[in-house]
Amino acid sequence: MEKVVQESISTFSVNGLNKLNQQDSYLYISNHRDISLDAALLALNLYQSGFKTFNIAVGNNLMEETWASDLFRLNKSFIIQRSGGTKKEIYSGLSLASQFIYQSIFQDNDSIWIAQKQGRAKDGIDATDPALLKMIHLTKRKSQSVANYFNSLKVVPVSISYEYDPNDQLKAKELYSSQSNSAYIKEKDEDLRSIANGITGFKGNVNINLSEPMTFDENDDYQTIAEKITHSIVAMYELHPTNYAACNLMEMNFQDQGQYTQKEIKQAQAKLEDRLKSLEKGARSKLLEQYANPVIRKLKLS
């Protein structure tokens, strides 16, 4: 991982570890951009800073290939049964994952990393799925209220941002295809290429921000807790010149362009324009939306 950082990232920063205790276990709930790196980069920084790493929640859809199964199991991953089989089998798998999370945090004192919703946010819109929280609560739903249980889990929202997404073109093609009423047929090795691109492709500056453990009100339900986690992740999201450049290319010219100079944003704009060249018109807008949506989402908070 250190080699990945050295060779594909310009600067890598992590903020918020001072809000955590090295001896405690946490439930890290993160936005999701890259199949393997989102969790791996945080784990690397935790390890380098004297913290324990964590068990990583992975959907069973990524376990269909032997290479993927081996890769994730080597990285302290556990499987969440989200698809396939009967409803009873899926429910049983979700219950097992819930039990594992409980055991990891309360019995083994091991932290958990889990994405805020199923799949990557290919459109750049980060949102926490209440169904995810319901799954986590399954093992204690009859004995602890939602808010009480999530307070005891010590939920830490995590917001990761990449200046450049090595898979932005692949994501744009998939989004355009699925939204233009044509079935998107994933190539056999597409997940493998996505993982490889994510690891080796140039990412520019990468930032991770962590919140202090959240405290929820007694009457908070799954929806309210999900909204609070989402608000924290969006508020912490570190915007890059590419985000503002995408807004400019979509003719959404915001006067406030953060801490960046016009030169930096124009350079980012030129690089984005270069990435658009190989895409058909409809997919181009999907690529730009990936970068522009985080700006729009943050503005809605203010």
Higher pLDDT, 133 or 59: 133
Do 83 and 62 meet the contact criterion of CB atoms below 8 Å apart? Answer: no
Tokens of 72: 């994730």
pLDDT bracket for residue 251 (50, 70, 90) = very high
pLDDT at 195: 86
Helix (H) or strand (E) holding 12: strand 9-15
User: Would you kindly state where each structural domain of the chain is located, as residue ranges?
Assistant: 1-163+204-238, 165-201+240-302
Q: Which CATH number fits domain 1-163+204-238: 3.30.420.40, 3.40.1130.10, 3.40.50.1820, 3.40.50.720?
A: 3.40.1130.10
- Percent with pLDDT over 90 in the chain: 78
Q: pTM for the complete prediction?
A: 0.95
Q: One-letter amino acid identity for 123?
A: D
**14 φ, ψ (degrees, to nearest 5):** -130, 125
Tens-digit pLDDT profile for residues 138-148: 999 999 999 99
Tens-digit pLDDT profile for residues 180-231: 766 667 776 777 788 889 999 999 999 999 999 999 999 999 999 999 999 9
Q: Taking Cα atoms as reference points, which of 129, 145, 151 lies closest to residue 223?
A: 129
Contacts of the segment 173-180: beta carbons below 8 A, 24+ positions apart: 173/279, 173/283, 173/286, 174/122, 175/122, 175/123, 175/283, 175/286, 175/289, 176/280, 176/282, 176/283, 176/285, 176/286, 179/286, 180/282
